[in-house]
């Protein structure tokens, strides 16, 4: 167990900078998820922590010790690769024992640890198999077993569930979380799947194009996204964004089609008369119920999902999606007026893209 501190880390491949000064303090025993779209540099950041790539500038410390110059082997970390990277010519047992034997651990202790890990991961029956004789889920477990036996300071995971089918992914997700609760080893988990991120992480690092767009608990990231990128990336279906203008009193927003919505509390008087971007999640919009203010939605098409109904349409010229509970019979081409609870509204600055605190 150890804390990991990442300070202003950058990484350049040749002339292109891929990681632009990421900082993050990971506490002892914490489960951190690095989340972001493909190509944003998640794997690269993880490989920098592992020592598989050299950092260009900045500092990484594990358990208080700066590891910039240390080989992966000296960092006391273990990693689960996306393709598992199980040694194909070794049995499950030897795969797990390999790292321990290299560290010259007595054979009896090696055996004890491998069997203990195999017990936890339900691999005891499979110890004599070669990786190719295992199913995807079993391979995944062997890859985890190889990490567990080492009892490292930090676990690193690079999209370990992405090769599994949907059902197995949910199951392994829960197993990983359960395992973490038992072992309490500091873990850094890379994924582009936000459900994985929200369910696994104590905190998320949302990455955008080589920078940390926001670091926070899943709930913080969902409820108070720090900028337009995070707001649009977290949540499915994605948050709606509408161009709006703050009314002269600073307490209401005027939408393009003339309707307006109230802002909570004192509103944003400092921005009276200024343009802002209004963000509201599809699940937070509700039928108006005869109120005076609201958002007018011209329905284009309706998706009935059973548990809820997605209504896609336009507000003025901007796309808008609403999620309504249960099955709702709504006609195509209908116009419905929606209410947005003031405390569920997000405001963003059109220039800086940053969140405007209300």
Partner 1 sequence: MEKRVVFRNKVLPYLLVAPQILVTLVFFIWPAAQALVQSFLQEDAFGTSSAFVWFDNFVEIFTSEEYLGSFRVTLVFSFAVAAIALSVALLLAVMADRALRGATAYKTLIIWPYAVAPVVAGVLWFFLFNPTVGMVAFFLKKFGVEWNHTLNGGQAMTLVVVAAAWREISYNFLFFLAGLQAIPGSFIEAAAIDGAGPWRRFWSIAFPLLSPTAFFLIVVNIVYAFFDTFGVIHAITRGGPNYATNILVYKVFNDGFINLDLGGSAAQSVVLMAVVIALTVVQFRFIERKVHY
Ligand X SMILES: Nc1ncnc2c1ncn2[C@@H]1O[C@H](COP(=O)(O)OP(=O)(O)OP(=O)(O)O)[C@@H](O)[C@H]1O
Q: Given the rule CB under 8 A, which residues bind partner 1?
A: 50, 52, 71-73, 77-79, 81-83, 85, 87-89, 98-99, 102-103, 130, 132, 146, 150
Smallest CA-to-CA distance from 225 within 246, 244, 250, 208 is with 208
Q: Distance between CA 152 and CA 116 in Å, rounded? A: 15
From residue 38 to residue 57, the character string flagging contacts with Mg ion as x (rule: CB under 5 A) and all else as - is -----x--------------
Beta pairing class for 154-158 and 275-280: unpaired
Closest approach of partner 1 to the CB of residue 3, in Å: 20
Which residue number, 65 or 103, has a Cβ lying nearer to partner 1? 103
Give which of ligand X, Mg ion, partner 1, none residue 44 binds (C-beta under 5 to 8 Å, depending on kind): ligand X
Please, what is the minimum distance in Å from the beta carbon of residue 300 to Mg ion?
35
Does 41 participate in binding ligand X (rule CB under 6 A)? yes
Told to check if 191 binds Mg ion by CB under 5 A, we report no
Distances (CA, A) of 162 to 30, 74, 78, 184, 191: 22, 28, 19, 23, 8
192 binds, among partner 1, ligand X, Mg ion, none (CB under 5 to 8 A by kind): ligand X
Between 18 and 100, CB nearer to ligand X: 18
User: Going edge to edge, which strands form the sheet with 57-62?
Assistant: 16-26, 4-13, 57-62, 65-66
Q: Which residue is nearest to ligand X (CB)?
A: 43
Phi-psi region of 300 (alpha: psi -120 to 50; beta: other; left: phi over 0): alpha
Query: What b/e sequence results for 88-121 when a residue is b if at least 16 CB atoms lie within 10 Å of its CB, and e otherwise?
Result: eeebbbebbbbbbeeeebeeeebeebbbebbebb
Shortest Å, Cβ 189 to Mg ion: 12
**Binder of ligand X out of 12, 13, 87, 181 (CB under 6 A):** 13
Report the C-alpha gap between 92 and 330 in whole angstroms: 56
**Phi, psi angle pair for 89, to nearest 5°:** -95, 5
Query: Closer CB to ligand X, residue 209 or residue 243?
Result: 209
Q: What is the DSSP letter of 251?
A: S
For residue 38, the partner it binds in partner 1, Mg ion, ligand X, none, with Cβ less than 5 to 8 A by kind, is ligand X
d(CA 340, CA 246): 16
Nearer to Mg ion, 43 or 95 (CB): 43
Which of 93, 229 has the CB closer to ligand X? Answer: 229
Using CB under 6 A, which of 44, 194, 240, 309 touches ligand X?
Answer: 44
User: CA angle, 113 as apex, 110 and 118 as ends, to 5°?
Assistant: 120
Interface with ligand X (CB under 6 A) = 13, 18, 36, 38-44, 192
Interface with Mg ion (CB under 5 A) = 43
């Amino acid at each position: 167990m150890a804390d990991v501190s990442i300070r202003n880390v950058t990484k350049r491949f040749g002339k292109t900078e891929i990681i632009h000064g990421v900082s993050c303090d990971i506490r002892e025993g914490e489960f951190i998820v690095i989340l972001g779209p493909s190509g944003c540099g998640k794997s690269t950041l993880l490989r920098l922590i592992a020592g598989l790539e050299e950092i260009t500038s900045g500092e990484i410390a594990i358990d208080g010790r700066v590891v910039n110059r240390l080989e992966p082997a000296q960092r006391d970390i273990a990693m689960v690769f996306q393709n598992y990277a199980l040694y194909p010519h070794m049995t499950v047992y030897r795969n797990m024992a390999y790292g321990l034997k290299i560290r010259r651990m007595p054979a009896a202790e090696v055996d004890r640890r491998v069997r203990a890990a195999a017990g936890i991961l339900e691999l005891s029956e499979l110890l004599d198999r070669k990786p190719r004789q295992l199913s995807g889920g079993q391979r995944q477990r062997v890859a985890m077993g190889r990490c567990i036996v080492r009892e490292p300071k930090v676990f690193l995971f690079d999209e370990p569930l992405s090769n599994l089918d949907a059902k197995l992914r949910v199951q392994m997700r829960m197993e990983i979380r359960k395992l973490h609760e038992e072992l309490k080893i500091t873990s850094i988990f890379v994924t582009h799947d936000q459900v994985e991120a929200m369910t696994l992480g104590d905190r998320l690092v949302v990455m955008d194009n080589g920078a940390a767009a926001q670091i926070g608990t899943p709930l913080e990231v969902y409820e108070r996204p720090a900028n337009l990128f995070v707001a649009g990336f977290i949540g499915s279906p994605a948050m709606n964004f509408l161009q709006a203008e703050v009314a002269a009193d600073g307490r209401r927003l005027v939408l393009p089609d003339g309707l307006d919505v109230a802002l909570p509390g004192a509103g944003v008087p400092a921005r009276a008369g200024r343009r802002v971007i209004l963000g509201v999640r599809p699940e937070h919009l509700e039928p108006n119920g005869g109120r005076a203010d609201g958002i007018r939605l011209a329905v284009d098409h309706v998706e009935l999902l059973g548990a809820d109904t997605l209504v896609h349409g336009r507000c003025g010229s901007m796309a808008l999606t609403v999620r309504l509970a249960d099955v709702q019979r709504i006609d195509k081409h209908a116009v419905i007026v929606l209410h947005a609870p003031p405390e569920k509204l997000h405001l963003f600055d059109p220039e800086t893209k940053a969140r405007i605190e209300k």
